Structure formats: C-alpha cells, structure tokens
C-alpha cells in the first residue's frame, strides 16, 4: 500500500487533547477511562447499528448465515465486522478515539480488531486474561478500547481490572500456540492454564491477579471509553440482570510501526499481517490497509531526518544544543 492515501480528514475543532495526568494514570495503572469521549449522537448511531444486525450475519463475521439472535444463543460477540460493514469501520476509526491513542501509543496508530458484544441477561463473562497473549505485536504496543453503547455496571457485566498489573509480562500458555512474547528471555516465567475461564480455581492467571490490590470495577455510561494496556489483567462477569443487555464495541490497536503476525487466526501472505490492518493515523514504514469504506483518517508522510540530530552532551554552556 502506498503512503498518503485519501480521503484524509480535515483539521477538527472537536479534537480531544489528553492531559498529562491521564497519560500518567494510564502508564501507571494500565488503564484509563475517558468519560463522555464520544458524542451521544455517535453512540446512538453505533447502538442503532448494533440492533439492526438482525438479518442473517455474513459468514465472514463468524455468523455462518445465522441471525444474531441465533448466534448469541451460543456466543456473545462477533469479530472483525469493520472488514464488511461501513458503520463498524467508522466506529473503529472514530477520530476522538484516535486522538487518545495518538497521545498514548502514537503518533502512528494501526487498527487491528473490532468486536461487537451483546451480552443479553444470563450470558457473557470472561475470566482473567491479558489481551496481548492473543494479539501479538513486535514491539509490544497493543492497546484495547472498550466503547460503552449503554450503561455497564457490576450487575450487567462491566469490566473489572487489576490496577498496575500491566507491569507483568505476558504469561505463556501451558499449551503454546503461535508466537510467544519474549520467548526464552525469562528465567522464571511460568506458564498458566485455562486463561479466560470464569472459574478462578482453574484459571491459574487468577493467582497472578491476587498479587495486586483488590480488583476494581469500571462502570461506564454511553459515550465513556476505556483504554487498557495489552498486558493488563482484566475480566468480566456474566450479566446478572433480569432484563438489561450490555452492548459494547471493543477494538484493538497498536503502534503502526509494530510488526504484527496476527490476523484473527486466519492465514495471510508474507511474513506479517500488517497489510491487512488499517493505518488509522500517522505513518509507517510497514505495509498497511486502507479503510475499505472510505472512512477519513489523518495520515502523515514518513519524515526523514533533516540536519544533524541533537547531541546528548551539551555545549560549553551546558545547553543541549543541536549539532
């Protein structure tokens, strides 16, 4: 793919500018909730889209021709809808989400995955896990984004996090699959079993979570967006409400200069899957995909180094001057 494809979004008056304290909170705790990041009309658009998906779902989305009502009798999410649906792509590339990502992992952002969660009453829930175990990026820059489409709380299955557990490495499975983060680099990194299982007695990653302060729930209102680091230990519980659903749009991104050998378990050509993922902001020296439905994004050309770089050692006055 070439650099600087169009359309490119124009400068925006509604650009979200992150605060230093938000950046520090994210780096220390491994997550950051930005309240009311998305306008309610945009949330409503995503909510209405989610509820229109009642016709037979395309096989590419994992639906195998079933309606979502039928799908969610067996599962509570549909993956990679952004590859076949314009609204899903628009939500994945929402500029105010990319504004925060640019501050946290940017300036170059690659959009990797989209997941639409429904979680009707009595369904859902996922035990302790680390997202970067499933989606590998080198360098390791994965970040998850959880967009609330309706109120999420402890009753209907909001997310729970183990603050500061993002300091942990990625724990490998006792049954390895594919690429493993920093394989062979640790002397005492043990494997774990039954990751993502709801039962903490058999999900041995729960023992790692116990090393940290008590987990905290992250209640969210429509338009709130949670950003969480790929190493962060997090989980959810089943929806215990009687009549409330918990609809959410969850996406994953990384720095666009990371090599990505991941395509949601599907095969790909070449030595990486970067060419299948959308360059959402900035630039990259690696291959990338364009938005299939023309969602505008803000890109920049790869910049070359002009002149000599700054010196680490100062001049005679002690100033760090350019060479």
pLDDT tens column, 239-298:
999 999 999 999 999 999 999 999 998 999 999 999 999 999 999 999 999 999 999 999
- For residue 307, is it within any domain? no
Q: Is residue 257 part of a domain?
A: yes
- pLDDT number for residue 183: 74
Residue 280 Rama label (left phi>0; alpha psi -120 to 50; beta): alpha
258, 137 Cβ separation under 8 angstroms: yes
- Residue 322 counted as domain residue: no
Rounded average pLDDT over 187-202:
94
Share of the chain above pLDDT 90, in %: 73
- Read off the pLDDT of residues 173-182 as tens digits, 9 standing for 90 and up: 887 665 666 7
Residues 6+ apart with CB under 8 A from 173: 133, 191, 192, 193, 195
Whether 58 is in a domain gets the answer yes
pLDDT band for position 63 (50/70/90)?
very low
What mean pLDDT is predicted for residues 47-72? Answer: 63
Angle 20-29/95-105 helices, nearest 10 degrees?
70
**Cβ atoms 223, 43 nearer than 8 A:** yes
3-class secondary-structure state, position 32: strand
Of the CA atoms within 13 Å of residue 181, those in its CB half-sphere come to 23
In a domain, 233, yes or no: yes
In a domain, 36, yes or no: yes
The pLDDT assigned to 301 comes to 76
Structural tokens at position 152: 């999420």
12 part of a folded domain? no
Overall pTM > 0.75? yes
Residue 80's alpha-carbon distances to 88, 116, 265, in angstroms, are 8, 8, 12
296 burial (CB, 10 Å; 0-12 / 13-18 / 19+) is middle
- Structurally, the chain folds into a number of domains equal to 1
CA 267 to chain centre: 21
Q: What is the CATH number of the domain that holds 144?
A: 2.60.120.620
Q: Is residue 52 part of a domain?
A: yes
Please report the pLDDT score of residue 61 as a whole number: 47
- Domain residues for the domain of 183 are 20-299
């Amino acid at each position: 793919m070439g650099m600087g494809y169009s359309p490119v979004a124009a400068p925006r008056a509604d650009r979200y500018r992150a605060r230093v304290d938000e950046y520090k909170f994210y780096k220390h705790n491994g997550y950051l909730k930005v309240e009311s990041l998305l306008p309610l009309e945009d949330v409503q658009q995503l909510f209405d889209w989610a509820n229109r998906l009642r016709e037979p779902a395309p096989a590419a989305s994992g639906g195998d021709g079933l309606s979502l009502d039928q799908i969610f009798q067996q599962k509570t999410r549909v993956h990679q809808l952004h590859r076949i649906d314009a609204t899903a792509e628009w939500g994945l590339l929402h500029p105010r989400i990319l504004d925060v990502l640019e501050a946290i992992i940017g300036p170059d952002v690659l959009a990797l995955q989209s997941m639409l969660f429904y979680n009707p009453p009595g369904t859902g829930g996922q035990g302790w896990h680390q997202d970067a175990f499933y989606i590998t990026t080198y360098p390791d820059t994965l970040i998850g984004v959880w967009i609330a489409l309706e109120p999420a709380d402890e009753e209907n299955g909001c997310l729970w996090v183990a603050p500061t557990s993002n300091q942990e490495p990625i724990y490998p499975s006792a049954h390895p699959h594919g690429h493993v983060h920093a394989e062979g680099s640790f002397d005492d990194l043990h494997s774990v079993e039954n990751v993502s299982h709801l039962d903490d007695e058999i999900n041995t990653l729960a023992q790692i979570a116990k090393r940290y302060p008590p987990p905290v729930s992250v209640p969210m209102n429509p338009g709130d967006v949670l950003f969480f680091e790929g190493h962060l230990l997090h989980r959810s519980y089943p929806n215990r409400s009687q009549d409330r659903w918990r609809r959410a749009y969850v996406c994953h991104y990384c720095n666009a200069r990371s090599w990505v050998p991941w395509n949601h378990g599907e095969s790909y050509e070449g030595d990486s899957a970067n060419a299948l993922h959308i360059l959402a902001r900035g630039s990259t020296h690696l291959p990338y995909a364009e938005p299939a439905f023309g969602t505008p994004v803000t890109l920049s050309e790869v910049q070359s180094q002009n002149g000599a770089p700054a010196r680490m050692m100062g001049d005679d006055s002690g100033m760090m001057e350019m060479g």
